[in-house]
Structure 1
Amino acid sequence: MKSWPKWLAAGILAASVLSGCESGSGMNSDHANNGKEAENAAGGAPAPSKAPAASPAASPAAAAVDEQPSTVWYEIFVRSFYDSDGDGIGDLNGVTEKLDYVKELGAEGIWLMPINPSPSYHGYDVTDYRAVNKDYGTMDDMKRLLAEAHKRGIKVIMDLVANHSSTDHPWFIDSAKGKSSKYRDWYTWAEDQGIEKPAAVSATNGQAWHEKNGSHYLGVFWEGMPDLNYDNPDVRAEMVSIADFWLGAGVDGFRIDAAKHIYDDFNTSKSDPQTAAKNKKWWQEFRTGIMEKHPDAYLISEVWDGPGTIAPYLDHAFNSSFNFNLNDSIRSAVAAERAPDIAGSLDRVYKAFEKSSDGSFVDGLFIGNHDFDRLASAAGSPEHARMAAQIELTLPGNPFVYYGDELGMKGAGRDEFKRLPMRWHSAGSGKGQTTWQKDLANPASSGVTVEEQEKDPSSLLSLYKMLIQWRAAEPALRDGGIAPSTVKGDGIEAYERLTAKERVLVVHNLKGAARKVQLDEATAAAYGAVAHGTSPESRLSGGVLEMAPYSTVVLK
């Protein structure tokens, strides 16, 4: 990646994506509240793409644009996805059975939420890092899934929960026996540190220390998740070895859970530069440890914070990190029907990321995941949810689609309700349907099923497929950088997507009313036709762009 040419750096720098860069709590609700899930308060038909006009020749300056070769990923909670054996719980063989669905959606990679043995339904407290949860199948099932995915050109990454284990893990059980135990120093014990009355507040604003057998161990998230001690070289070596084990089995990389909390343990150390430096050093060591044998492994981190905190981790540690501020910005923009000036904001963010990563980063995009209220519940209307997808899937970076969001599944409040069973059948039951959690958010009458939406060209599922097809068809959408556009208007969000060889202009109308936008002379000269559009009512003529409500066009 290269720095932006000066002519691309113009534009207003919006604060929405960058505000509160250091204010993220880093709180993952799977990791909170004494092991219990935190209780919270409880469009138009897509038009066939028009024949594109020839793309304007890229100027010499365009050769310096910041490209981000991308992959569309699909996040799967295995327990909820597809049940192959009729026990009501999703499993790895079920994921394998539905790889063709993933392929038809257009995704080129899947992220599996934790598949290791665990006493919790969500799996973020691991008892064996080298095994598969028996609810989900066997190691042979996992190897079959990997083989079948790779046959289809689909990559597979899995959650690596490195910050902490379960209290049921044999390491911790041994560690808790006393100071002479083999694994004592694999965890942090207050009394062993000379702390006689531990009462510190954790970095997630909970209790940091928890009593066991007369001593107190460190657990940043809750008492069932004791933090591993990365000052112990044996722990560091073991985590590298675990990663090597799974990469050797065929996994293509990892989503790194709670990445910033390896050393970020206490409320008093959250902004300590030395703590951040230790975190970064460990993850650089981790990457170095796997790169010799697995140079193409993809690492994306959960650093639940702003760009200023994320940037250092892109320095030879992670390929990507999830952009939480961008998720917030898109969600709030579509709900309010206002243009957030994404390109102006990302210009500043990406300069920081580029500098830290020597130009090698790829952004991690998402508008929903397992920790947030479902997009369809939060957006306010189906049109707003569609608009969010139209924005995410036309931005640079790796877009991640949370299973069921492509259908408009709802779910909010308790974390289980954000991870409800995937909706396959219009009747609400049928082959493969998981039943481990009762779904009250998506009644059979809602139309939120694969069976119904696959038949409907105007469905949200059809929209997702079309948007992903746009990315596949247009190198500038798939791999290009982003630059601000002079196209402005009430509720109009516009940006250029560029590679060294071509460019396109993306324009969104976030409003529920039609809009006419006058292109300036230079833009009208560069972009003469609608190459792709979500509505047949959107058209370009004489430098005037007419846009249907809640629509998106790509101009060439």
Structure 2
Amino acid sequence: MEKTWWKESVVYQIYPRSFKDSNHDGIGDLNGVTEKLDYLKLLGIDVIWLCPVYQSPNCDNGYDISDYHEIMHDFGTMEDFDRLLEEAHSRGIKIIMDLVVNHTSDEHPWFVESKKSLDNPYRDYYIWQEGKDGKEPNNWGSWFGGSAWTHSAETDSYYLHIFADKQPDLNWENEKVRKEVVKLMKWWCDKGIDGFRLDVISMISKTKETPDGHVMEGMKYGDLSPYVIHGPRVHEYLRELNREVFSQYDVMTVGETAGVTEKHAEEYAGFERNELNMIFQFEHMDLDFGEKNKWNDQPPKLTNLKAVLSKWQVGLHNKAWNSLFWDNHDQPRALSRFGNDKQYWSESAKMLATCLHMMQGTPYIYQGDEIGMTNIKFTSIEQYRDIESHNAYEELVGGGLVDKEQMLSYLNYKSRDNARTPMQWDDSENAGFTNGEPWIEVNANYQSINAAAQVANENSIFAYYQKLIRLRKQHEIIVYGSYELLLPESEELFVYTRTLNDQKLLVMCNFTDETVDFVVPEELQSCQRAIWIQNYSDAAAGNHISLRPHEAIVLFFDDVNVNGRA
């Protein structure tokens, strides 16, 4: 397998609005990120994934771009960005930009022109259709709630928006659009950035046919997924971007691709495909969906979680590259979702980190994971800021499908705002995030969960992440070794091996609040071993191990094949 820097890197995702406020307006900014680069260097990460910082009216917290060449005023100036890039590079830290090219803001000059008239030069930059019988062209529902079509009075027609009505979809069938995208990507690469995370990139090609979508029971609108995901020309477009941009620079590219199978992943990110370096798949994120799609408050079964993650580990080996993540800006906190964020808070955070970072792929740490940040418990819809959460509340509660208390339970478990509360830097007011009024409430547990306390504690979650990152940099088996799942039917333990030549790792993770017994595989029982990392102060070294609640142990075996015992 070819060795590359992006396979061997650890990425840290920053949601700038919630990371660090440097000018006391309650909103995180670029200078705040620069201020905390030494913290990230201390953690040991290699790459920052910076969520959108482009000019935006902020309908969807920056994922609605109105100017690709300017910085959002909330976040600072282009000079601030240039300084951040220079300071990061001086510390050996790369920066990849979060780029949205499936859609723009409705305030982008292209769309402002597009809606003016049928013969405007920018008309075909977006997807327009006439209505049917005075209504929308079809029954497609937006993923942010409501119809996926919005009427424009100027031309008495409708434009498509998969997401919010202020996020009209670009028409990639138009070659002029693709040339504009190539041009703006080159502009950022020439500035010196190190790559792109490409938002909803699997949706840039739509089918020409737009029939009504299937309507799920209890829902008002039809499913547009079959017509907007993995469209007929998506790979043609990505190869064009690779040829014109990605291959011309030493950059890392990761695509957000909802609804992918391993086969899709090979097409998007196969080593010989010349499209993307890797993708984000969300199959493990969708395991706790309920009757109301994502809105649910019941955690997934461990057997299902293991089956999905293992399928991707095995399916992509030697074919494409995995992205490893438990959460991000669009997901609730992993510790509250997959662990025990109260009684076994520290143990759970370390166990989840172990389970993920020992797999094959590029690990992504979302800001705050490294100090054990948890979901926030809001008590009213007014405390939420996320457009998706508000739209879902209106649709499900307003439509009489769910009562208020149940919906708040769903939001406390699954809302994107759980990941967007301010970074908890210390135990001062507002967790050291701002001296102003934070744009969203700070989690009340910041006095006990904060970076200052963690950095000063050699047994902290932060210190544990440091060790995991060091191990990955020191041992190629963690990056390149093959994967095998053990005990697939266990609902308590997630156990797997990694193998490279005559070396083997045994990774044992207890996902429960109980002690669970485990026996080392017979072929390894007489092998020399070393404990690489464990999340309790002491760990059993024998062949019969009682894994305590949320315990994680990684054993290293050397000369396994040479000794003929594995």
TM category (shorter chain) comes to 0.7 to 0.9
Aligned mates of 2:115, 2:258 — CA distance in 1: 30
Consecutive unaligned residues of structure 1, counting only runs of 5 or more, are: 3-64
Matched, 1:189 2:189: no
Q: 1:430 and 1:363, CA in 2 relative to 1: closer, same or farther beyond 3 A? A: closer
Q: Does 1:233 align with 2:189?
A: no
Instruction: State the Cα deviation string for residues 402-455 of structure 1 (Å, max 9, x = none).
Output: 11122222335354453111111212347653743242533444x111122222
Matched, 1:256 2:198: yes
The answer to whether the 8 A contact 1:341-1:493 is kept is no
Q: Which residue matches 1:423?
A: 424
Kindly report which structure 2 residues correspond to 1:152-171, keeping only aligned pairs within 5 A, or say none: 152-171=91-110
Matched, 1:547 2:505: no
**1:74-473 alignment to 2 at 5 Å?**
74-120=12-58, 122-191=61-130, 198-202=136-140, 204=142, 206-212=146-152, 213=154, 214-264=156-206, 268=213, 270-271=225-226, 276-294=231-249, 296-308=250-262, 309-314=264-269, 315-327=273-285, 338=302, 342=306, 346=309, 348-350=311-313, 352-353=315-316, 359=318, 361-378=320-337, 379-381=339-341, 382=345, 383-411=347-375, 413=411, 414-429=415-430, 433=434, 435-439=437-441, 441-445=443-447, 447-473=448-474
The higher-RCO structure (CA 8 Å, 6+ apart) is 1
The answer to whether the Cα contact below 8 Å between 1:166 and 1:226 also exists between their aligned partners in 2 is yes
Q: CA deviation at 1:480?
A: 2.7
Q: Is the 8 A contact 2:8 2:479 kept in 1?
A: yes
**Cα offset for 1:465?**
2.3
More displaced 10-residue stretch of structure 1: 159-168 or 397-406: 397-406
Which is worse superposed, 493-502 or 242-251? 493-502
Q: 1:204–1:310: structure 2 CA closer, same or farther, 3 Å change rule? A: farther
Aligned partners of 2:284 and 2:9: how far apart in 1? 18
Give the % identical residues: 30
Quote how far apart the aligned CAs of 1:144 are.
Answer: 1.5
Amino acid at match of 1:201: N
**How do 1:18-57 residues align onto structure 2 when only pairs under 5 Å count?**
none
- Count of aligned positions: 483
The SS at the match of 1:277 is coil
Closer, same or farther: CA 438–219 of 1 in aligned 2, 3 Å: closer
Preserved contact between residue 422 and residue 443 of structure 2 (Cα < 8 Å): no
Q: In the TM superposition, what whole-angstrom CA distance separates every residue of 1:354-379 from its partner, at most 9, and x where no partner exists?
A: 5xxxx463211111111112224334
- Which residue is equivalent to 2:524? 523
Amino acid at match of 2:258: W
1:502 positional shift: 3.2
Is this contact kept in 2: 1:117–1:128, CA < 8 A? yes
Tell me which amino acid in the other structure corresponds to 1:161: V
Aligned to 1:29: none
Q: Deviations over 1:11-46 (max 9, x none)?
A: xxxxxxxxxxxxxxxxxxxxxxxxxxxxxxxxxxxx
CA contact (8 A) 1:504 1:554 kept: yes
SS in 2 for 1:529: strand
Alignment partner of 2:483: what SS? Answer: strand
Amino acid at match of 1:316: N
Give the deviation of 1:156 after TM superposition: 0.7
Q: What amino acid is aligned across from residue 284 of structure 2 in structure 1?
A: L
What TM-score comes out, normalization by structure 2 length?
A: 0.77
**Residues 178-187 or 402-411, more deviating:** 402-411
Offset at residue 515 of structure 1 (A): 3.9
Stretch moving more, 494-503 or 478-487: 478-487
Q: 3-state DSSP class of the match of 1:245? A: helix
